[in-house]
Amino acid sequence: MFGLQQQVLLQKNAIAELIFLPIGTYRELYIFISCKQQTMKTFFLILSITAINSLQAQIDSYKVSKTDTIKLYDLAFQRTITLHLDEATILMDHDLFMKHLKAERKGLKKQIKSLKRMIKRGTDYPGITSSQLRSYQRQYAPVDSEFAIVKQSRLDTFHVDYKIFIKADLRFDYFLPSAIESKQCMVLDLSNHKQNVIFKISGSKKTGQMTAVGSSFYFIPGATKYFLSKMDWVS
């Protein structure tokens, strides 16, 4: 990590002084940036980042292999989907969300039709096929319902409760992380403050004698819990 005091030249006419201060069991990094521009205006940017060690403690069953900092942009959408998670709120473009929802709906519908045909032909192997069918139907219901509601709405900002998908075991595991990493969305904390930085911590853990799983976790600086996760691989 950094020393107690370290000065870094960020850019021409910009100097940042980095200072670590202990606060309880955490250390927070305060970055004060004073910049002089042609207008001779001075502004200060204060960025509070929870130390990586405190984040790793929340996923201590994983062996952390990589940490990344994702800088998000200020975005303006013609129409906005506000997706409410337990630990954060994600704002994204209406059309981007609907495109994904449409693809999920189409894929689930295709699986349901395929499984129904298999059962009709009598190939329901010891209840496995019918169990898969029920799972896909449970996932399809909220996707179909939400797709229809959002499609009919003319609101500029539409609020979606992510819990309806979680309850159906449909987590959009790759869609939301991809939107964050490609900087296609904005993230708010529980106080509705926009976050300019998101931490991503990746790691792996054993799930059996010969098996393991790799996952990534997304944190808001200073939060007590990650707000999003995804499975990267299984072996």
113-146 pLDDT per residue, tens? 999 998 888 877 777 888 999 999 999 999 999 9
Provide the pLDDT for residue 125.
75
Q: What is the mean pLDDT of the chain?
A: 79
Query: Which of the pair, 32 or 169, is modelled with greater confidence?
Result: 169
Neighbours of 182 (CB within 10 A): 9
Long-range contacts of 150-156 (CB under 8 A, 24+ apart): 150/81, 150/94, 150/97, 150/98, 150/101, 151/98, 155/79, 156/78, 156/79, 156/80
Q: How far apart are CA 223 and CA 189, in angstroms?
A: 8
Note whether 49 and 28 are within 8 A (CB).
yes
DSSP, res 125? G
- Residue 137's SS3 state is helix
Provide the pLDDT for residue 171.
80
Provide the pLDDT for residue 128.
87
Radius of gyration of the chain (CA): 22
- Can you read off the two tokens belonging to residue 187? 């993230």
Q: How far apart are CA 215 and CA 134, in angstroms?
A: 27
Q: How far apart are CA 31 and CA 44, in angstroms?
A: 9
pLDDT, one tens digit per residue, over 18-59 is 333 333 333 343 333 334 344 333 333 333 334 455 555 667
Provide the pLDDT for residue 16.
32
Provide the pLDDT for residue 120.
87
Asked whether residue 82 carries a pLDDT value surpassing 60, the answer given is yes
Provide the pLDDT for residue 187.
98
Provide the pLDDT for residue 86.
94
Helices within 21-62 (DSSP H only): 52-56
pTM listed for this prediction? 0.74
Q: Where does the pLDDT of residue 223 fall: very low under 50, low under 70, confident under 90, or very high at 90 and above? A: confident
